[in-house]
Amino acid sequence: MKTTFLSTTDLFKNVSSTLRERGFPEAEREAELIICHALNISRTEFYRNAIQVDESDLQVLNSIVGRRLCHEPLQYLTGYTEFYGLGFRVGRGVLIPRPETEILVKEAVRLVNALGISSPSILDLCTGSGCIATAIAKNLSFAKVVASDISAPAMRYAIENAGLNSAGNLVFVQGDLFEPVRGQSFHLIVSNPPYVKGDDLMGLQQEVSWYEPPEALDGGRDGLDFYRRILKAVPRYLRDGGYLVLELGLGQGIAVGEIAGECGLRVLRVLNDLSDIERVMVLEKV
Ligand SMILES: C[S@@+](CC[C@H](N)C(=O)[O-])C[C@H]1O[C@@H](n2cnc3c(N)ncnc32)[C@H](O)[C@@H]1O
């Protein structure tokens, strides 16, 4: 196929102005990432300016820009994201890890270290891409981590991501919440469950409501369905002296705390995210 030399500066100006005109606030950052991904070049090659491309390269680039203009998340287009300093594969069918979830991981690692147990057991419910479980397993190499999710596509990404990050102390089980770990108990249980109110789903950013899996978001009519189910079951699966760490949706702290009280759990603390929203709740058995 015929190849030509093109200037990455010209390509960059073209892609970034297209994105900016269509209202993408991070047009420049996205343009660079899209060009590097579509043309399979490193940032160093990008900044060298002249690159050799053929027609099929430009078709790939145009197709990716077109998908972005339809608001497909950048991470689905590149198939990659970062979380807690690690790389993760993502795509349609699995939730893209969010930066605020790193607060949950940091707290989980701190709590387990403070427990001082030689071989702690940890359960990550609703693992999705496996981001929480993998980050915990990598940072607590002496722990045994089990992660579960009901979704087959999520399971496939989670297994791939654990392998990608060489997390050997981690196993995945597929099923409805605690069902795959019936009869087992854990020193730490963590979860970032679906927590969006049913009526709010279509009002989310297009990137989320059009492309991310609804089963990863939908928390039922009031957004609290999964908290009710998890909190009711936790006393049977949490060892004495252990902790439950939950991510919270916007404004759910009080309601989740009340449900926890009815289920024999006590709120130890709530951690806020960078926007000062109550984001992570730490609980223990009464
Ligand atoms: C909010 S996402 C969290 C994903 C990941 N832990 C993260 O923080 O990025 C919720 C996950 O719960 C899973 N899920 C939904 N219903 C479930 C159920 N009944 N049992 C287990 N997992 C479920 C979804 O497939 C999705 O992966």
129 lines ligand 1 (CB under 6 A): yes
Please report whether residue 85 resides in a domain: no
Determine the residue of 94, 125, 149 to mutate for testing ligand 1's pocket, defined as the one with the most ligand atoms within 8 A of the Cβ atom.
149
Last residue of a domain, one of 18, 35, 70: 70
Asked if residue 152 lies in contact with residue 179, where contact means CB atoms within 8 angstroms, the answer is no
From atom 12 of ligand 1, which residue's Cα is the shortest distance away? 126
CATH code of the domain in which 33 resides: 1.10.8.10
Please report whether residue 206 resides in a domain: yes
Q: What is the pLDDT of residues 98-135, one digit of tens each?
A: 999 999 999 999 999 999 999 999 999 999 999 999 99
User: Do 61 and 100 fall within a single domain?
Assistant: no
User: Do 121 and 175 fall within a single domain?
Assistant: yes
How many domains, in total, are found in the chain? 2
User: Do 165 and 205 fall within a single domain?
Assistant: yes
Ligand 1 atom nearest the C-alpha of 128 is: 27
C-alpha distances in Å from residue 45, one per residue of 4, 53, 63, 134: 16, 13, 21, 31
User: Do 126 and 27 fall within a single domain?
Assistant: no
pLDDT at position 52: 85
Please report whether residue 162 resides in a domain: yes
User: Do 128 and 241 fall within a single domain?
Assistant: yes
Please report whether residue 79 resides in a domain: no
CA of 221 to the centre of ligand 1 (A): 17
CA of 225 to the centre of ligand 1 (A): 13
Q: What is the pLDDT of residues 41-75, one digit of tens each?
A: 999 999 987 888 888 999 999 999 999 999 999 99
Average pLDDT over residues 62-90: 98
Asked if residue 121 lies in contact with residue 115, where contact means CB atoms within 8 angstroms, the answer is no
User: Do 98 and 34 fall within a single domain?
Assistant: no
Write out the residue range of the structural domain in which residue 222 sits: 91-285
Q: What is the pLDDT of residues 194-241, one digit of tens each?
A: 999 999 999 999 999 999 999 999 999 999 999 999 999 999 999 999
Tell me how far the alpha carbon of residue 227 is from its chain's centroid: 18
Average pLDDT over residues 25-31: 97
Average pLDDT over residues 64-91: 98
User: Do 259 and 194 fall within a single domain?
Assistant: yes
H runs (alpha helix) in the chain: 8-21, 27-38, 43-47, 55-69, 74-78, 101-115, 131-139, 152-164, 206-211, 225-237, 253-262
pTM of the model as a whole: 0.96
CATH code of the domain in which 205 resides: 3.40.50.150
Q: What is the pLDDT of residues 144-163, one digit of tens each?
A: 999 999 999 999 999 999 99
User: Do 125 and 255 fall within a single domain?
Assistant: yes
User: Do 127 and 46 fall within a single domain?
Assistant: no
User: Do 169 and 33 fall within a single domain?
Assistant: no
